[in-house]
Structure 1
Amino acid sequence: MDPFLSLLHAFSSSLSDTELSSLKFLCRDRISKRKLESVRSGRELFTILLEQQDIARDKVDFLEELLKGIKRKDLVAQLNQFVEEGGINTSDDQLDEHEKRCQKVAIEVICNNVGKHWRRLMRKLDLSEVQLDRVVEAHRGDLREQLVQALREWQRSKGKDAKVTDLIKALRACEMNLVADKVEQELLGLNTGTR
């Protein structure tokens, strides 16, 4: 049995009618009114969110926001414990330690140096407009967080194939050569132990 589905089932069982109504209200920008009207349980709501890929084993941010929105700190704590205990296998678990460190450094440099043209970069990394719009909607008004979340989305979608070299190629393809140079410089420092 999938532990993530078991967790969602447990959450569903603990929701009151008022909490379910609140969750439906919080989801109205992601789920059509018609679908929401037919939802009678947390399980049905979570099923729709899973089908729309708003939540997944490796994508729990929106679920956490929903639980915080209905003031269920106990469920947020359960979700966080589940994640910490490795119940959710994130894509970076598939990378070796060196690549993880390199990605962390590269993403930090990119987030500090790429501004309003971040969407162009993410398109070069093959993220869809739907994925980008979802990130923007979830983090409206916070440009840096939009870029951070878009890069995480890229990492999740590529899994072990998410390579720093692809980030550098995409930066250069977008004529963001200065940022690409900074990433390479930081990685050189990391690899020679001067960072």
Structure 2
Amino acid sequence: MGDFLILLHSISTDLSKEDLDHLKFLCCGIISKRKLENVKSGTDLFSILLEQQEISNGKVEFLLKMLKSLKRGDLVERLERFVENGPDDAAELPEPQEREQLKTAFLVISENVARNWKMLMRRLGVSEARLEGIMVAYPNNLQEQIIQGLRVWQKSQGKNAKVLHLLQALQDCQMKLVAELVEAKLSSPQV
């Protein structure tokens, strides 16, 4: 339960006042008006939901619906990642140098791949459902959609996520110029 509480605290710190007001509204039928009036933070709200057993480590559907209604894709992804991978999936991450290279490659790809980004993601094995979720979470930000798609791919690959695989997928999708830009950026000395 401790890891779930840490997750809730993390989500709480990222909620704006407006987000909190929306969440309180969504809880009107579940939490009494008097209790809602005393809610001043996300942790206050989550404490009541935990107490009333509306959410728990194994019961996150209600919380997920609320975060989706806020259109906070970042928080939805954080919760989904926790549910999918558990609290500590650091052992599945690529090595630090590879992570830095992937981060650089993600940035170059997001800046240079346009509307055909879904073709690249499909080539990398990202499911249609995940692509649809990304588009819903970030409807007006193509660059963020690409970054999130690449993160989903990286997460699915764990330690096997390599820049080499990205370069091959770019080549396979006839995005040779982008592959060359990634290689050039990675081979240039860091400023």
Q: Structure 2 vs 1, CA of residues 63 and 3 (structure 1 numbering), >3 Å: closer, same or farther?
A: farther
Deviation, structure 1 residue 5? 2.8
State how far apart, in whole Å, the 1-side matches of 2:123 and 2:64 are. Answer: 26
Q: Distance in 2 between matches of 1:92 and 1:117?
A: 32
Give the direction of change, closer, same or farther, for the CA distance of 1:93–1:126 in structure 2 (3 Å limit).
closer
Q: Secondary structure at the match of 1:43?
A: coil
Q: How much does 1:94 deviate? A: 2.4
Correspondence 1:22 to 2:21 = no
CA RMSD of aligned residues (A): 4.0
Structure 2 vs 1, CA of residues 5 and 178 (structure 1 numbering), >3 Å: closer, same or farther? same
Moved over 6 A (4+): 8-11, 49-52
Change (3 A) 1:49 1:62: farther
Report matched runs for 1:55-66 at 5 Å: 61-63=74-76
Q: Cα 1:8–1:100, aligned 2, differ >3 Å: closer, same or farther? A: closer
Q: Structure 1, unaligned stretches of length 5 or more?
A: 12-17, 26-39, 67-86
Give the superposition deviation at 1:182: 0.7
Corresponding letter in the other structure for 1:48: E
Please report how far the alpha carbon of residue 188 of structure 1 lies from its aligned counterpart in structure 2 after TM superposition.
Answer: 1.5
Q: Go from structure 1 to structure 2 and tell me whether the alpha carbon gap of 1:46 and 1:188 turns closer, same or farther (over 3 Å shift).
A: same
Q: Percent identity?
A: 32
Q: Return the letter of the residue paired with 1:128.
A: S
Structure 1 residue aligned with 2:15: none
- What CA distance in whole angstroms lies between the structure 2 residues aligned with 1:112 and 1:145? 10
TM-score, with structure 1 as normaliser: 0.60
- Superposition pairs of residues 74-93 of structure 1, within 5 angstroms: 88-89=87-88
TM-score by length of 2: 0.61
Partners of 1:172 and 1:23 lie apart in 2 by 49
For 2:135, the aligned partner's letter is V
Shift of 1:22: 1.0
Q: Do the aligned residues in 1 keep the contact of 2:170 with 2:176 (CA within 8 Å)? A: yes
- For residues 155-185 of structure 1, give each alpha carbon's deviation from its aligned partner in whole angstroms, at most 9, with x where no partner exists: 1111111111110000000000000011111
- Corresponding residue number in structure 2 for 1:117: 116
Deviations 1:13-60 (A, max 9, x none): xxxxx94661699xxxxxxxxxxxxxx8531795326999x99xxxx8
Partner of 1:48: 61
The residue type paired with residue 173 of structure 1 is: D
Number of residue pairs aligned between Structure 1 and Structure 2: 147
> Would the aligned equivalents of 2:54 and 2:62 in 1 still touch at CA under 8 Å?
no
Q: CA deviation at 1:141?
A: 1.6
